[in-house]
């Protein structure tokens, strides 16, 4: 990259059920935290990029750009996308093209107010074929798990170990979230609770295997390198980024045991960043379910195909705060992941970036990754739909 985009500040709200707060209050809170950290004002922004999936449905906003213009009292260029990663992609392109020196990237979602009304929309977002077949938004996760077990011939005692490993993912992420003041669920759960919920539901995956429905907002200030250095002594650079797209209908894909988009995006992002896979120590995965964290470890190349559950199971017997793989420490979902931090769709990617930003700057407090070397690089994976579109970003510091 000739012009390196740099994040100079981040902000977010607590995720959860915010019935009492209007959407504009949530995004304003996130923006104010970011602007105060960077010591900038609204008039310093040259453009804004906002993400949300369902705001027109849940809160009857017909043109979100106008809503954002009223909120900021600005008339600069504004664009709206679905995911936070998509908004950031547009912002990075504008910075790299030299069009703007500093922009706002924000994400917002208010889902709990109309949860019963948008389950259909969530299913259509993930897979219309499954929707018309009568499936729920959770169905494809179970289909993927069954396909994974069948493909890799997991039987007998190993089935039990795999099921425990998935429960350990939930346990681990809830444990991390107890140190995250913004997390929706700041309480520990046990492996036994996860297994018990599955028995109660009579399904391979239960209540504690899935991320919740959430409200919340996130924001970051993105600038070119020259502007960034004037605003902070610790910018975090966007070193590599990529996205890929797959079929909307999950059963129609050639491979049902992993997400092709994650694999492709990671390879291209690493090539752009000009680093190796194991230079990355901080990793935020898109764990809409425990299955997706397991699968994503393989998709991104950290674990061998069909073996990530072994890594999880061995590391979580006596969990030390990280996965140790081939002698390397990998800190995964230190904010609690979507599972415990929360999953307000349009804002979720922003929370992942918030965590990587804080970790790389050594500002994550009690949940700061502890390693022999200070982390230099972090990575996030964000998905749209059920692996229909995938974004990978690699971040680094000086």
158-206: pLDDT as tens digits: 999 999 999 999 999 999 999 999 999 999 999 999 999 999 999 999 9
d(CA 260, CA 118): 27
Could you give the residue ranges of the DSSP H alpha helices within 46-133?
A: 55-58, 64-72, 84-96, 115-126, 128-132
Query: Is the residue at 79 inside a domain?
Result: yes
The domain in which residue 77 lies consists of 6-115+213-231
- Residue 372, pLDDT score: 82
Looking at the structure of the chain, the number of domains it has is 1
Indicate whether 1 pLDDT > 70: no
Q: What percent of the chain has pLDDT over 90?
A: 86
Angle at 57 between CA 53 and CA 58, to 5 degrees: 90
- Residue 343, pLDDT score: 97
* pLDDT (mean) for 326-355: 97
What does pTM read for this prediction?
0.97
* pLDDT (mean) for 103-121: 88
Task: Decide if 360 contacts 350 (C-beta within 8 A).
Answer: no
Query: Is the residue at 16 inside a domain?
Result: yes
More confident of the two residues 61 and 286 = 286
Q: CA nearest 148: which of 259, 56, 300?
A: 259
d(CA 310, CA 314): 6
Q: Output DSSP code: residue 106.
A: E
d(CA 222, CA 88): 9
- When pLDDT is cut at 50, 70 and 90, the band that residue 57 belongs to is confident
- Let me know how many helices (H) and strands (E) the chain has, helices first: 15, 11
Query: Is the residue at 69 inside a domain?
Result: yes
- Residue 371, pLDDT score: 85
Indicate whether 127 pLDDT > 90: no
**Residue 104 is part of a domain; what is its CATH number?**
3.40.47.10
């Amino acid at each position: 990259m000739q012009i390196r985009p740099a994040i100079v500040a981040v902000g977010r709200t607590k995720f959860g059920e915010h019935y009492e707060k209007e959407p504009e209050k949530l995004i304003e809170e996130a923006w104010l935290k970011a602007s105060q950290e960077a010591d900038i004002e609204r008039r310093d922004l040259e453009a804004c990029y906002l993400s949300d999936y369902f705001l027109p449905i849940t809160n009857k906003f017909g043109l979100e750009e106008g809503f954002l213009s009223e909120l900021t009292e600005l008339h600069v260029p504004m664009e709206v996308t679905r995911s936070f990663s998509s908004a950031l992609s547009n912002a990075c392109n504008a910075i790299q093209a030299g069009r703007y020196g500093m922009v706002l990237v924000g994400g917002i979602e208010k889902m709990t107010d109309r949860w019963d009304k948008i389950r259909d929309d969530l299913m259509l977002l993930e897979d219309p074929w499954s929707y018309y077949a009568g499936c729920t938004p959770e169905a494809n996760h179970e289909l993927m798990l069954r396909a994974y077990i069948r493909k890799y011939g997991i039987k007998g005692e190993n089935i039990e170990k795999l099921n425990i490993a998935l429960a350990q993912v939930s346990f681990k992420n809830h444990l991390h979230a107890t140190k995250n003041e913004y997390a929706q669920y700041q309480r520990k759960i046990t492996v036994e609770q996860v297994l018990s919920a599955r028995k109660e539901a009579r399904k391979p995956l239960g209540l504690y295997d899935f991320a919740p429905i959430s409200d919340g907002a996130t924001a970051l200030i993105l600038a070119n390198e020259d502007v960034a250095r004037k605003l902070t002594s610790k910018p975090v650079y966007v070193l590599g980024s990529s996205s890929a797209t797959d079929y909307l209908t999950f059963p129609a894909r050639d491979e049902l045991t992993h997400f092709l988009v994650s694999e492709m995006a990671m390879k291209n992002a690493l090539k752009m960043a000009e680093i190796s896979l194991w230079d990355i120590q901080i990793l935020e995965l898109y764990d809409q379910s425990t299955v997706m964290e397991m699968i994503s470890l393989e998709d991104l190349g950290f674990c061998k195909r069909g073996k990530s559950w072994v890594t999880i199971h061995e590391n979580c017997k006596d969990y030390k705060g990280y996965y140790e793989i081939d002698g390397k420490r990998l800190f995964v979902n230190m904010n609690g992941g979507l599972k415990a931090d929360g999953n307000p769709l349009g804002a979720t990617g922003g929370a992942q970036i918030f965590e990587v930003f804080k970790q790389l700057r050594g500002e994550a407090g009690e949940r700061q990754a502890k390693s022999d070397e200070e982390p230099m690089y972090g990575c996030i994976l964000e998905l749209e739909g059920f692996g229909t579109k995938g974004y990978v970003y690699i971040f680094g510091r000086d």
